[in-house]
Amino acid sequence: MSSPASRFIPASSRTLLLTFDAFGTLFHPRLPVPEQYAATAHQFGLSRTAVTPDKLATAFKDTFRAQMHQYPNYGRADVLRGQYGGPRQWWEEVIRGSFRRVLSTENGETRLETPKEHIPDGMVEALLDRFAGAEGYALYDDVLPFFRRMHKLKSAHKWSFDRIIVGVVSNSDDRVPVVLKSLGLTVGDMRADQDQSSMDLPGFEVRGMKKDVAGEHDKGHADCNLDLDIDMVITSYEAGEEKPHRLIFDVARRQALKVARPWLTSRTKFKSVHVGDDFKKDYQGAKDAGWESYLLPRDSLSAEKFEAKQFQDLLGLADKLDLFP
């Protein structure tokens, strides 16, 4: 009997590429974002009457929208020209802009200028760190049980796919793998690497050593992805386009082929499936890119709005995978 690391894979093997949206599908804020912003601000001495969750909710929404308009996709185009600092600068400007809007209307009076000392640097750094990890986010209850089921499927070798590659495709920046790791998931090093190495782009994720991830997979580790919950993370910041644009799905498939390289042959059949909570960006976007797609509406009210193939939770998806044709 062959061990998993040496198992023979037939030339006509089938590989499943299964990807998920991140925010709103795998994880969510522990508390509403305005509440977390306000609580952090109060810890740094800002007025509890001047800085409230309700005021911050409006200010954040307006600031976020303006920032997305001025620097789309976390300023990627300007980053590639060497004219912008990337997601960390982008979010710092959102944080400062949100508090500036709130503090400029303190006591019902609007001030055109808000002194910088009203927005402590330490508070900004605290919020950046908070929303790059487990302090700001939590997994949905079905996520860890789902990945435990996936490990069993991967190791059993008794179902219709010879290999499975699990990925995340997210309209976000490179905080996503950092957040996932902080929440207890094991995440591989494959990223989008579109136009240039993702590790050369300024951002939140730092790895100790740059390497050819695909090359590492070739060095006798054909089953190394059995130990991972997620093999790759493809973000819009690193891929160059946001869902529902086809490019981000094409990049995901291209990078999955690199993960699959140790067992890939000209006769390997790929099935690509995407799961997310947004009908237009996830379900329709993946479908238009030629993928099979499923909607995972975390909000029960939104489940009734769209005619789409759906799962009520990830365990329903796991049951489907057990019987996948």
Question: Stretch 252-257: mean pLDDT, rounded?
Answer: 96
What is the C-alpha to C-alpha distance for residues 68 and 227, in angstroms, rounded to an integer? 37
Per-residue pLDDT at 269: 85
Per-residue pLDDT at 157: 64
What is the C-alpha to C-alpha distance for residues 207 and 140, in angstroms, rounded to an integer? 26
CATH class for the region spanning 4-28+138-322:
alpha beta
Element (DSSP H or E) covering residue 78: helix 72-80
Six token digits for residue 273: 């499936």
Question: 3-class SS at 19?
Answer: strand
What is the C-alpha to C-alpha distance for residues 134 and 297, in angstroms, rounded to an integer? 23
- Tell me the CA distances in angstroms from 110 to 93, 100, 214, 241, one per residue in order: 20, 11, 55, 38
Q: What is the pLDDT of residues 179-236, one digit of tens each?
A: 999 999 999 999 999 999 999 999 999 865 444 444 444 444 455 577 899 999 999 9
Per-residue pLDDT at 155: 80
Question: Stretch 110-114: mean pLDDT, rounded?
Answer: 51
Per-residue pLDDT at 287: 97
Per-residue pLDDT at 18: 97
Q: What is the pLDDT of residues 47-83, one digit of tens each?
A: 999 999 999 999 999 999 999 999 999 999 999 999 9
Q: What is the dihedral of CA 281, 285, 291, 294, to 10 degrees?
A: 40
Instruction: Tell me what the pLDDT averaged over the chain comes to.
Output: 88
* Residue 321 or residue 50, greater confidence: 50
User: Is the pTM value of this prediction over 0.95?
Assistant: no
Residues of the chain with CATH 1.10.150.720: 31-130
Give the other-Cβ count within 10 Å of 44's Cβ.
15
The answer to whether residues 104 and 98 touch, using CB atoms and an 8 Å cutoff, is: no
* Residue 81, C-beta contacts closer than 8 angstroms, at least 6 positions apart: none
Per-residue pLDDT at 218: 46
Predicted confidence band of residue 254 (pLDDT cuts 50, 70, 90): very high
Residues of the chain with CATH 3.40.50.1000: 4-28+138-322
Per-residue pLDDT at 219: 44
Per-residue pLDDT at 69: 98
Q: Across-strand partners of 232?
A: 167, 190
The CATH number of the domain covering residues in 31-130: 1.10.150.720
Per-residue pLDDT at 165: 94
DSSP per-residue string spanning 171-236: SS-THHHHHHHHTT--EEEE----SS-GGGS-SS---SS---HHHHHHTT-TTGGGG-SEEEEEEH
Question: Stretch 296-317: mean pLDDT, rounded?
Answer: 85
Q: 29 pLDDT exceeds 80?
A: yes
- Tell me the CA distances in angstroms from 245 to 73, 191, 282, one per residue in order: 13, 18, 10
Six token digits for residue 306: 């769209």
Six token digits for residue 322: 């057990």
Per-residue pLDDT at 117: 47
Per-residue pLDDT at 259: 94
Q: Is 113 exposed, middle or buried (0-12, 13-18, 19+ CB in 10 A)?
A: exposed
